Structure 1
Amino acid sequence: MASYYTDILLVSLLMSSALTEETICAKYTFQDKLVDAVFELQHQVDILKRELKNVQNQLNNYQLSRDMATASMETQLTAEDKRIEEKLTTLTNGLPGRITSVMTGLSTPGGSIYTRWGRSTCNANRTQTVYSGYAAGSHYGNQGAAANYLCLTKEPLWRKFEDTKQSGAPVFGAEYEFDHRSRVTFFDREITDQDAPCAVCQSPRSQLLMIPGRNKCLDGWTLEYEGYLVAGDISHAAASEFICLDANPEALPNDSGNTDGKLFYFAEARCGGSLKCPPYVDGRELTCVVCTK
């Protein structure tokens, strides 16, 4: 650029034929100054160009860094959106089933009912006492009697009746017997011939299981109560059934004495036949446990 301006100045000076030598020398002196100024100006322009390039590089670097940060943020946001969408989809897909489950729980009473033999109340995990009653059943000496034990209510209600004893299915109270054993060893007190209470219990858990032969629930089950397996004596005329008597049985107040009726005897293992011994032991009293789930 400087050379271009210099040539223009020389042509202009040569075309002026009337110029004197002194004038020409003065013009050359001016030309030198002008050339120096042009070079200085070009130098300044070059400096400005370099500074502009540096600024442009800085802007480019900033833009690149911002783009990378934006891309990283967009990647994170995309991943988060995907996670939230997947979770929402899972919740949405499972919602009908959960609604059905809730509606079923509202429309169908849950829980289970069982009798706690030998106790007057129910005190297991969130289990309620429906009513407290008297253990009862057919007389042990009556042939053809009913086999099952009853938990009679303490608040009977009647329909039509005749207050005379007649042939049929008489119901007696139940007593503890446990003959030929030390009752103190098993119950820490003497309970022979004492009258037995019972309680009907409602558990919030729907599955109910009585396990003969053990006094602890299986994994995943909740203990309601544990005790001894009992039934009627094999020498008696009346049939009986096996039930689970609480390990710490109570006695009804105002005991009636030794009047028999429906009786409780220990159930024990008998080896020498098909019962496997071990694990069972000949003559040993069997335990039991009532569990819910």
Structure 2
Amino acid sequence: MTAIFTFTLLILFQISFGEELNEEKRLLLSDPQQIQSEIHALQQEVEHFKVLAAEFQAQKQENQALKAEVADLKQTFGLQEADLNQRFGLLESSSQKSGSIYIRWGKHSCPKLNGTELVYEGTAGGSYYTETGNGANTLCLPHDPELLPDHFTLKSDGGHFSHIYGGEYQFSLGKVVVQDDVPCSVCRVKMATSSMMIPAKRSCSIGWSKQYSGLLTANTYYANKNEYLCVDEDPDFIERSRQNENGRLFYPVKTICGTLPCPPYKNATLVSCVLCTM
């Protein structure tokens, strides 16, 4: 009985409290100040959303401008890269057509330096050491000569011809001995425009690059003249019989004081040499 009474009171309290809440809501909605306050709050929220929309639009425009700038930069960079590649290609092509050539006497190969390449290797050739004619210069004759065709015939005045012979060492140095045949190699320095042989030096001047150093050679003093040539200080030889066939002979050069100032030179000493490029 008591429980039923208590339950009944709770239901009546809830009904009464609910009616009071509904009445309070009706009073708030009918209050002009409350309505004005709600409208003002809504207006503030609308203004806030307008500000956010304006900021979003500005950010969108800024992003579009940045995208356009990036596209321009990409296009500009692409053109610059293409221009650089073209210029580099032209420089590389130009470097393939330019350079400086020299002969390395006494070697089968060119120095293992950056920008130096072998054009061809061969054997030294020139005038016989006692003949008064022929050519004065020494040649690097390739190992794979191409002969004139059979139909290429001519008649020389008086039947006379010039001669060319192979070269022989007339000294022993390292692995070569007297009578060994002299090899040579034609070298090209791609990143250079000048080359020179400096006698009596083993180093190059400032700004020049050393290709090799060696021993100054020429014909013997009592025979016919030929060139002063710089033979590599670590000479090679051509593999064949070591017969004394003479030909274009390579003798070491020694100093003779008198007209040659001593000092700085010293009498009867071998002369060094170096090949430099720039």
TM-score interval w.r.t. the shorter chain?
Answer: 0.5 to 0.7
* 2:169 pairs with one of 156, 172, 176: 176
- The DSSP-based 3-state class of the residue aligned with 2:67 is helix
1:235 CA displacement: 2.2
Contact 2:169–2:250 under 8 Å retained in 1: yes
CA distance, structure 2, for counterparts of residue 287 and residue 196 of structure 1: 17
C-alpha distance in structure 1 between counterparts of 2:212 and 2:64, whole Å: 63
Q: State the Cα deviation string for residues 148-186 of structure 1 (Å, max 9, x = none).
A: 112234455355599xxx7543322212235xxxx5xxx
Task: Pick the aligned partner of 2:139 from 136, 146, 150.
Answer: 150
1:62 CA displacement: 1.3
Correspondence for 2:235: 249
Counterpart residue type for residue 101 of structure 1: L
Superposition pairs of residues 125-274 of structure 1, within 5 angstroms? 127-128=117-118, 130=120, 132-156=121-145, 157=147, 160=153, 168-178=161-171, 183=172, 187-189=173-175, 191-201=177-187, 207=193, 209-212=195-198, 213-215=201-203, 225-233=211-219, 235-266=221-252
Q: In 2, distance between residues paired with 1:276 and 1:231?
A: 20
CA contact (8 A) 1:143 1:238 kept: yes
- Which of 87, 97, 103 aligns to 1:115? It is 103
Gaps spanning 5+ residues in structure 2: where? 1-22
Moved more, 147-156 or 66-75: 66-75
SS in 2 for 1:50: helix
Q: Is the 8 A contact 1:232 1:264 kept in 2?
A: yes
The residue type paired with residue 230 of structure 1 is L
Q: Do 1:140 and 1:261's aligned partners in 2 also have CA atoms closer than 8 Å?
A: yes
Once the two structures are superposed, the pairs formed by residues 31-42 of structure 1 within 5 Å of their partners are: 40-42=30-32
2:126 partner letter: G
- The 1:189–1:39 alpha-carbon spacing in structure 2 relative to 1, beyond 3 Å, is closer
Letter matched to residue 139 of structure 2: L
C-alpha contact 1:145 1:238 (8 A) present in aligned 2: no
Larger gyration radius, structure 1 or structure 2: 1
Which deviations, in whole Å up to 9, do the C-alpha atoms of 1:246-268 show, x marking residues without a partner?
23211223334444332223457
> What's the CA shift string for 1:35-81, capped at 9, x where partnerless?
x9598431331232232133123213313432453354345335434
Indicate how the Cα distance of structure 1 residues 220 and 263 shifts in structure 2: closer, same or farther if over 3 A, else same: closer
Partner Cα distance (1:270, 1:68) in 2: 92
Q: Could you say which residue in structure 2 is the equivalent of 1:66?
A: 56
Name the CA distance, whole Å, in 2 between partners of 1:242 and 1:191: 20
Q: Distance in 1 between matches of 2:273 and 2:132?
A: 28
| Structure 1: distance between partners of 2:184 and 2:163 | 19
Contact 2:212–2:232 (CA under 8 A) maintained in structure 1: yes
SS at match of 2:31: helix
Q: TM-score of the superposition, structure 2-length normalised? A: 0.61
8 Å contact kept, 1:229–1:242: no
Equivalent pairs counted in the alignment come to 241
* 1:208-233 CA-partner distances (Å, limit 9, x unpaired): 62442345697696x7x513253414
Letter in 1 for 2:59: A
* Preserved CA contact (<8 Å) 2:28 2:34: no
CA distance in 2, matches of 1:103, 1:129: 18
Q: Is the 8 A contact 2:124 2:184 kept in 1?
A: yes
Identify if the C-alpha distance between structure 1 residues 41 and 69 changes in structure 2 by more than 3 Å, giving closer, same or farther.
Answer: same
Tell me the amino acid that sits aligned with residue 77 of structure 2: K
